[in-house]
Structure 1
Amino acid sequence: MASIGHVAVGMLLGRYERGTSSTGRLLASMAFFSALSLSPDADVIAFVFRIPYEAPWGHRGATHSFVFAALVALAIGLLARAVRFPALRTGGLAFIALASHGLLDSLTDGGLGAALLWPFSNERFFAPVQPLPVAPIGAGMLSPRGLYVVVVEFVVFLPFWVYALWPRRRALPES
């Protein structure tokens, strides 16, 4: 994916979490959940270390799994609890943000699939249908193919963007 969809999921979750907060808190929440939604793609660093794409720690490997999502969400939930945020809600939304990444990548029409069940299996999975075009990696995003992928993702995730960015009536006072 071109990351447009991942950011849209994060924005939606941030809006859901902090929809009636001040603008600053809302934007912080959207940025936090968008970063979480994107974070599994930090595995592209594997290319620098010559870790093969198909390796468990290669691109779309372990960081795209439900176990990875659960472990990071647990850590976030514990951190939220320590700073007096609602731990279960924050951890649950973090899990959705992280787990959505692998699921959305499985909807693309290229690559090797996502290792959703790592560490129990290194198999890469695709969804039964793949309606999203796979994004070129790196400078390839600046090509006509990259532009096509961005446009398709923007259209597919338009309802997420609308929900996230629709003007609010007014912010409630902070307590």
Structure 2
Amino acid sequence: MPSAFSHAFAAVALGKTYTGSKMSWRFWVLAAGSAAMPDFDVLAFGLGIPYESMFGHRGFTHSLLFALFWGLLVVWCEFKQVVRFSREWWSLFAFFFVATASHGFLDAFTDGGEGVGFFVPFNGMRYFFPWTPIEVSPIGVGSFFSQRGWIVVKSELVCVVLPFAVLWLAATLWRWAVWSRIKLKRAEALEPGSETASKS
């Protein structure tokens, strides 16, 4: 798995792509937390649940069904001010579904551990993508303060942080270009001699 930091960064970058509006701190905490939430299943190791079990690591909490339930729970409980089943409500639900599901997708790009149970509980198979460039992250914070940990950090910077940072920048530039075009059209419409200006 990539580290919790990389999962959280991916969610924030997706959030910045999702909206250009100023969102509350709660939105960003929920986005980052949703992306990291699936790794809650590491508790299975301490409970003696086998890795390959449906409830083992990278099992149910990494599935698309869990992402669906979690996205629904977050929006239902934390965004009560939004009219339920409105366009904004469905948009928020879709975002938190994607933010949560992004965890499993990133894990499927790693080069170790068991695959990801995308379709648990309907299908117990574990999946990796054909290309697995991300070094699998060690479990436990202490493991990062080692040569192996540094290799993982470098891998995540290149394969996770950089692509999502580019996505974030591209979304920001696109919005800036669109807003600049709108302002230019407004300015042109108000110039002396223009049809809009003459009507006013």
Task: Please classify the TM superposition score into its range, dividing by the shorter chain length.
Answer: 0.7 to 0.9
Gapped regions of structure 1 (runs ≥ 5): 170-175
Per-residue deviation at 1:15?
2.2
Instruction: Confirm or deny: 8 A CA contact 1:109 1:134 kept in the other structure.
Output: yes
Q: Which has the higher contact order (CA 8 A, sep 6+)?
A: 1
Paired position in structure 2 for 1:74: 72
Hey, what's the Cα distance between the residues in 2 that align with 1:30 and 1:9? Answer: 12
Q: Do structure 1's residue 132 and structure 2's residue 134 form an aligned pair? A: yes
Q: Give the SS at the match of 1:104.
A: helix
RMSD of aligned residue pairs (Cα, Å):
2.3
List 4+ stretches of structure 1 deviating above 6 A.
Answer: none
Residues 29, 45 of structure 1: alpha-carbon distance in 2 compared, 3 angstrom cutoff: same
Paired position in structure 2 for 1:14: 15
Gapped regions of structure 2 (runs ≥ 5): 177-200
Per-residue deviation at 1:81?
5.5
Letter in structure 2 aligned against 1:15? K
Hey, what's the Cα distance between the residues in 2 that align with 1:3 and 1:80? Answer: 22
Paired position in structure 1 for 2:164: 160
Q: Do structure 1's residue 146 and structure 2's residue 149 form an aligned pair? A: yes
Per-residue deviation at 1:141?
2.3
Letter in structure 2 aligned against 1:142? F
Per-residue deviation at 1:76?
2.5
Per-residue deviation at 1:31?
2.3
Equivalent residue runs for 1:69-148 within 5 Å = 69-79=67-77, 82-84=80-82, 86-138=88-140, 139-148=142-151
Hey, what's the Cα distance between the residues in 1 that align with 2:21 and 2:89? Answer: 19
Instruction: Confirm or deny: 8 A CA contact 1:15 1:30 kept in the other structure.
Output: no
Alignment length (residue pairs): 165
Per-residue deviation at 1:55?
1.1
CA displacement 1:53-78 (0-9 Å, x = unmatched):
11111111100000111111122233
Instruction: Confirm or deny: 8 A CA contact 1:114 1:124 kept in the other structure.
Output: yes
Letter in structure 1 aligned against 2:145? L
Q: Give the SS at the match of 1:73.
A: helix
Paired position in structure 2 for 1:61: 59
Q: Give the SS at the match of 1:115.
A: coil
Hey, what's the Cα distance between the residues in 2 that align with 1:116 and 1:102? Answer: 7
Hey, what's the Cα distance between the residues in 2 that align with 1:125 and 1:17? Answer: 27
Q: Give the SS at the match of 2:22.
A: coil
Hey, what's the Cα distance between the residues in 1 that align with 2:12 and 2:79? Answer: 22
CA displacement 1:118-144 (0-9 Å, x = unmatched):
011111111111111111111322221
Letter in structure 2 aligned against 1:94? F
